[in-house]
Structure 1
Amino acid sequence: MKILTLHGLGSSASMLKEQIAPFMRELGPSYQFTFVDGEIPCGRGPGVPHWATGPFFSYAAGFSPPQVQNALDRLDQFIREKGPFDGILGFSLGAALAMLHKKLCMASLTQVHTHKGAHDIPFTRSDVKSIVSSIRNVAEELIEWGAG
């Protein structure tokens, strides 16, 4: 499974990679993650720890409809150049863009799963195993339906 991974506002691909490392280890080598930084340099995002060093990025220069559309266009271009992807994993702004992209550009994407933990990334082993189990179930269903 090839997964595009999008960070939150004022974060970076390398920070998100560290944050989700337990999920990547648990899923194993059959899941390939592609991380992409936003193109807009910006300040530290909400909730980004003070010990984290930049640079920090955003996918959007702002949140007006044209600015968000511009971010979606860049995301779609990246997907066309580096894809196809079996799914998108996004955190915060990355999750919002993933949802908008699914709605506007990928009507064929069959399922969207969200983590209801707000900005908390679960760190306990049981949380990781539970979420990984859910991801695997979705992947198996997609393969059975012939979508993967």
Structure 2
Amino acid sequence: MTESRVHEKPRILCLHGFRTSAKILETQIHKWPQSVLEKLDLVYLDAPYPSVGKSSVEGIFDPPYFEWFQANQDFTEYENFEECIAFIEDFMVKNGPFDGLLGFSQGAVLAAALPGMQAEGLVLTKVPKVKFLILISGGKLGGSKYGAPPLAANAFSSPVNCPSLHLIGENDFQKPESIDLLDSFVDPMVVHHPEKHTIPSLDDQSLEVVNNFIEKIRNHAATCIATSYGDNINSHL
């Protein structure tokens, strides 16, 4: 990270939901005020696998639809999990550096587990540390609903110590998993909204939390740069 990057927008890789697409997530995120969007550099990525079943957004958003990985009905067995992470890392190497991740639904489940796996040295070894997460309708691999693929078995064995913002819908079927996920993070910031399984609009109270989080991650980046700069100076003394 260079000293000049503190003045730039946080660069965020955005991971869409199950059987949707990068374009659909971008459309949904643009419900947020321009005052928020202009502070962030958002990059949207299509998952590597075309949808192999019906999408819940058919008739609302046009195809094509994609999925990050597949699971059996009770979420105890997974396919293409390691492959999708390798796909994400390759994109991050070629298009980064990225500061943080934003995920919705399946994308949020995946994003939530990545810092813990990265800390173990199992994934994202070719890219900088994930510095923050924005998780919308998230869930916990190895939690009450989702089993953990072998690669993610210890993703939450220690509290995830990076800034995190969690958007949780009061009428979202994923709400219990989103609540469960909070316990795995150090000092999470939370937006509770009245909507279902979607990217919510931001009312005044939610907007305040989101803006506070953006300020937090900018300050976090500045601290990282100052620490790195100090370490570099000391190493040459």
Letter in 1 for 2:168: K
Letter in 1 for 2:88: L
Could you tell me which of 32, 46, 52 is aligned with 2:61? 52
Deviations along 1:87-133, one digit per CA (max 9) or x if unpaired, are 11100011111112221125743223221224232224425523431
Partner of 1:7: 16
Partner of 2:86: 73
Runs of 4+ in structure 1 off by over 6 angstroms are none
Deviation at 1:21, TM superposition (A): 0.7
User: Cα–Cα, structure 1 residues 106 and 127, in superposed 2: closer, same or farther, change >3 Å?
Assistant: farther
1:113 aligns with 2:123: no
Asked whether the equivalents of residues 163 and 217 of structure 2 are also in contact (C-alpha less than 8 Å), the reply is no
Which structure ranks higher in relative contact order (CA pairs < 8 Å, sequence separation ≥ 6)? Answer: 1
Larger radius of gyration: 2
Could you tell me which of 189, 208, 211 is aligned with 1:130? 208
**Which runs of 5 or more structure 1 residues have no equivalent in the other structure?**
none
Asked whether the equivalents of residues 24 and 31 of structure 1 are also in contact (C-alpha less than 8 Å), the reply is no
Q: Percent identity?
A: 24
CA RMSD of aligned residues (A): 2.5
Relative to its length, the structure with more helix (as a share) is 1
